[in-house]
Structure 1
Amino acid sequence: MDNFIWKALTIPVTLDKKIDYKGAFNLEPNALVFFDLDGTLLNQHSQVNPEVASAIHQLRENGSMPIIATGRTNIEVDEIMEMTGINSIVSMNGQHVTFDGEEVYASVLETAVLDRLKEATNERNEGLSFYSNRLIRCTRHNELLEKAYNMIHSPIPQIDESIYHREDIHMALVLAEAGDEYYHREFPELFFIRNSPFSMDTIVKGGSKAKGIEALIERLNFQNIPTFAFGDGRNDLEMFGAVKHPIAMGNAISDLKNVAEFVTTSNVEGGIITGLKKYDLI
């Protein structure tokens, strides 16, 4: 496959050739089903329940394609992908898309912008993490950072303040309990998503899970295939607008439930299985 990379805030690369995907289905999939992870596909321990993993395998056997759509980076979900058999991912809130192990879309934060963002967080005595598709690094260790990563049962990243000069960074994480308005005002070229009481996902303005999903569908020429999405949080709002059938978990925020076609049970009450059965996907 030819690599297709969109460097955000620069000129986008156009794609002349679409992928003719047959894959394990031997034909086009019956449906594309996108799954958020935390609070959706994962349980309260950030793990996939065995019965949910079994449902995902059944989904594939029935001819549909499961795809992860998460705020996490690729290296954080290896075990999840192995357990579920999912091999495609829209990661870092749509900033990096991998299909069957091949990169098909990427949005990269500019080094100069990250210089300013790091300076701002340092001045405010706040932390900053950098996310590439293969590693996570941070500017400092403190209690707030530990709370943010412990909340999603993720390892504490190593400190490396200059990693973004050597790696393409697709997403940053501002470690702060407040100050949302400050960052929105001072960095209009960025989009900040409050993902927990301790941190904000930080991506290029105009970026979202929806952007990554749309790039994937366009690249694979799957415009006429039914699309579904399961989610629970604020970073799933745009994703719900990019699919035909948005499904909110029972534990989802009210704003998401209000735009959902169907509200299933919670992530710890078999919500994924209930939703898939509702639409006869399993």
Structure 2
Amino acid sequence: MDTKMQPQLLFFDIDGTLLSNVTHQIPESALNAIAAAQKNGHLAFINTGRTFRTMPAFLKDLGFDGFLCGCGTRIVCHGETLLAHSLSEEERSRIIDLIKEWQIEAFLEGSEDVYCQRSDYRQKVMNIVRASFNKKGLGLSKFIEDRNFVFDKFVFVSDNPANSDAFIRRITSFIDVIDRGKGMYECVPKGFSKASAMQLLSEHLNISMDNTWAFGDSSNDLPMFEVAAHGIAMGDHSSVLEPFSEMITDTVDNDGIAKALSHFGLI
């Protein structure tokens, strides 16, 4: 495939795609390969469910052409913010009311901070994640019970299927709910996704969606794979990506990014 004449748009998920789940770093092979692709005239973007605030800070200094964050709720290209969408005051209030009513354990993610409940969570995993946020200076400014903050999306982990099912039924009119497995749900304003962000960026840059490449590993990458011309699933990946994958490359730790970019002649 000769892709050198036309710029290609490369979209990378973070965890399990760029970042090793073992070392929590980007392998040097991936960094070098992405830089080589950019030198060939292609553009590289991070496309993540994380908000810009909760994305690892070091990723912002690695030379990416932009960031598609919060499942499409914020788009930054070459330092310019193309889109920044938050839930409305009415939507935010409704969500917090329902969280209380159905005893849902959630993290509310905004552009300024991530917001946790004031008391300890019932679930050990939630307290572990909260501690990791706190270590990075996140989740300390305000609490869910305070209500007077803005957020873009949220995640919750269920330890009560009946309650979580009831909660989901009451938000699906204005929220798209992504089942991440193991009782974890990612909740995004309707109409926003990793795919919608790719399409908006494609229009902004006047580069056809025929020239788009999605690199991912998990179920929330599915919208990205559905619209990309080329889907590259990492070695460890959710099976939902396979029908939309042009290639299953190696794992991130075994140079999967570099191998895929080389295989398709992007470097």
TM over 0.5: yes
Q: 2:153 aligns with which of 159, 171, 176?
A: 171
2:19 maps to 1:38: no
Indicate if the aligned counterparts of 2:76 and 2:83 stay in contact, CA closer than 8 A.
yes
How far residue 104 of structure 1 moved from its aligned partner, in angstroms, is 0.5
| Structure 1 residue runs without a partner (length 5+) | 1-27
Secondary structure of the residue aligned to 1:40 is coil
Indicate if the aligned counterparts of 1:32 and 1:227 stay in contact, CA closer than 8 A.
yes
Q: 1:74 aligns with which of 36, 52, 55?
A: 52
Q: 2:201 aligns with which of 216, 226, 233?
A: 216
Report the counterpart of residue 145 of structure 1 in structure 2.
Answer: 126
Indicate if the aligned counterparts of 2:7 and 2:207 stay in contact, CA closer than 8 A.
no
- Cα deviation 1:23-65 (Å, max 9, x = unaligned): xxxxx96211000001111101322122221222112112111
Report the counterpart of residue 144 of structure 2 in structure 1.
Answer: 161
In structure 2, relative to structure 1, the CA distance for the partners of 1:152 and 1:67 (3 Å cut) is farther
2:235 maps to 1:258: no
Indicate if the aligned counterparts of 1:177 and 1:197 stay in contact, CA closer than 8 A.
no
Report the counterpart of residue 181 of structure 1 in structure 2.
Answer: 165
In structure 2, relative to structure 1, the CA distance for the partners of 1:246 and 1:164 (3 Å cut) is farther
Q: TM-score, normalised by structure 1?
A: 0.80
Amino acid of the structure 2 residue aligned with 1:174: F
The 2-side partners of 1:213 and 1:163 are apart by 34
Indicate if the aligned counterparts of 1:148 and 1:196 stay in contact, CA closer than 8 A.
no
- Cα deviation 1:241-267 (Å, max 9, x = unaligned): 221111111111111022211111112
Identify which range, 63-72 or 98-107, moves more after superposition: 98-107
- Cα deviation 1:109-146 (Å, max 9, x = unaligned): 12222222212222333322222223222223423323
Amino acid of the structure 2 residue aligned with 1:81: K
Written as runs of structure 1 = structure 2, the 5 A alignment for 1:103-252 is 103-140=81-118, 141-142=120-121, 143-148=124-129, 155=136, 157-158=139-140, 159-161=142-144, 165-167=148-150, 169-179=151-161, 180-188=164-172, 189-195=174-180, 197=182, 199-223=184-208, 226-252=211-237
Report the counterpart of residue 270 of structure 1 in structure 2.
Answer: 255
Written as runs of structure 1 = structure 2, the 5 A alignment for 1:67-106 is 67-75=45-53, 76-82=55-61, 84-106=62-84
| Structure 2 residue runs without a partner (length 5+) | none
Amino acid of the structure 2 residue aligned with 1:77: P
Report the counterpart of residue 15 of structure 1 in structure 2.
Answer: none
Q: TM-score, normalised by structure 2?
A: 0.84
Amino acid of the structure 2 residue aligned with 1:194: D
- Show structure 1 runs of 4+ deviating over 6 A: 150-154
How far residue 215 of structure 1 moved from its aligned partner, in angstroms, is 1.0
Identify which range, 103-112 or 217-226, moves more after superposition: 217-226
The 1-side partners of 2:11 and 2:104 are apart by 33
The 2-side partners of 1:139 and 1:269 are apart by 39
Indicate if the aligned counterparts of 2:133 and 2:139 stay in contact, CA closer than 8 A.
no
Secondary structure of the residue aligned to 1:281 is coil
RMSD: 2.6
How far residue 178 of structure 1 moved from its aligned partner, in angstroms, is 4.8
